A = this chain, B = another copy of it.
Amino acid sequence: MQRTIVFDVLNNDNGQVKAILGAKRFIEENPEYKLILVGQEEVIKNTLGKYAEKVEIISSNEIAHKVISPRDALRNQSSMLSAFNVLKEGKADAILSSGDSGSYITLASLKVKRLPNVSRPAFMPVLPTTTDKKMLLLDAGANLEIKAEYLNEWAKIASEFHKIIFKSNKPVVGQLNIGTEDYKGTEIAREANKLLKEQADNYSFKGFVEPSSAINGDVDILVADGYAGNIFLKTLESSFLGFAKLLKQIYMRNLKTKISALMIKKDLKGFKAKFDYRNTGGAYIVGLDKVVVKAHGGSDEVAFYNALNQIKIALDNNVIEKLKEVFEQAKEGEDE
């Protein structure tokens, strides 16, 4: 079965060429995939060369800007909106863009159908930990206010993704909170904690976890309301960048420190790579009946190529079909 990905190449901080080059590499390796690229036709054709005939091009010159209201997102012409329209018309199975997150989440919610019996889509980045494991976090900012059942639905969704991406069996889910005891946290958090305990099925539930155990790799999936999830994500990212900046300052201090830096350089590479967004890949927007991936705003060729592969893994493993089954069954169970 041929699968199609629509890719908004225009919305990229580094210019569309990097995005197109990432697409080119993907096409070379995956002839069974069809790509629809949305961007400036001339640039796409020139960059792809002989591969231009392998893709469909939708011409667009308008970048998606920050939106204040859903109406803005729909009214303002942009390559991102055009890409979502392709998805809505049923002409593609997945979408990729590195444009403004707010616009992307808004358009995804408006243009893509939700999975059956799923209340809300969630933003799900793949995060590094201090161990070799990576972790899925959701929601990282799409829903600032939640209901208990959202977390339960998201845990189920993330578990299916985790099994596919990391070839895991029964991933461990933790719920982000200010303490581990059952009586800690807001009323909704405590209600969700109870629900997740009862419903744990395709995952094992660790209960409330604090940031430390998430960072140290104790869970495979971290569920949170989008407010706390976003603060957690951004604090983790900024701490690492801050740490790296300080370390660099120290290494540049004098000749001795510079020599020390040279000696450790190779070993530090792995450390840096662990927290490099290009290696962790794009963020999924889940809970929808298409595969929706948001690449980092500063993505380069490698990052886009990896994001396309991230989509491929999800499609090749029929993640959407599997999720439909999970949620249809959940509904049937309830109806009995």
Contacts and interface: CB of A to CB of B under 8 A. Distances in A.
A141 to B, nearest CB: 6
Contacts of A102: 179
Contact of A264 (B129, B178, B215, B257): B257
Q: Is the interface of A mostly helix, strand, loop or mixed?
A: helix
Contact of A130 (B141, B242, B263): B242
A88 B235 CA distance: 38
A178 B250 CA distance: 31
Given A68-B183, A234-B212, A235-B211, A144 B178 contact: yes
Contacts of A263: 256-257, 259-260, 263
Contacts of A251: 264
How many copies of this protein are present in the complex? 2
Contacts of A241: 212
29 contacts: A129-B242, A130-B245, A141-B178, A144-B186, A176-B231, A178-B227, A186-B227, A211-B231, A211-B234, A211-B237, A212-B238, A215-B235, A215-B239, A215-B242, A216-B238, A216-B242, A227-B228, A235-B236, A239-B239, A239-B243, A243-B243, A246-B274, A247-B271, A250-B270, A250-B271, A256-B264, A257-B263, A259-B263, A260-B260
Given A178-B230, A257-B263, A260-B261, 13 more contacts: A130-B243, A144-B178, A144-B185, A211-B234, A215-B238, A215-B239, A216-B242, A232-B235, A236-B239, A239-B239, A246-B274, A250-B271, A259-B263
Interface of A: 66, 68, 102, 129-130, 141, 144-145, 176, 178-179, 181, 183, 185-186, 210-212, 215-216, 226-228, 230-232, 234-243, 245-247, 250-251, 253, 256-257, 259-261, 263-264, 267-268, 270-271, 274
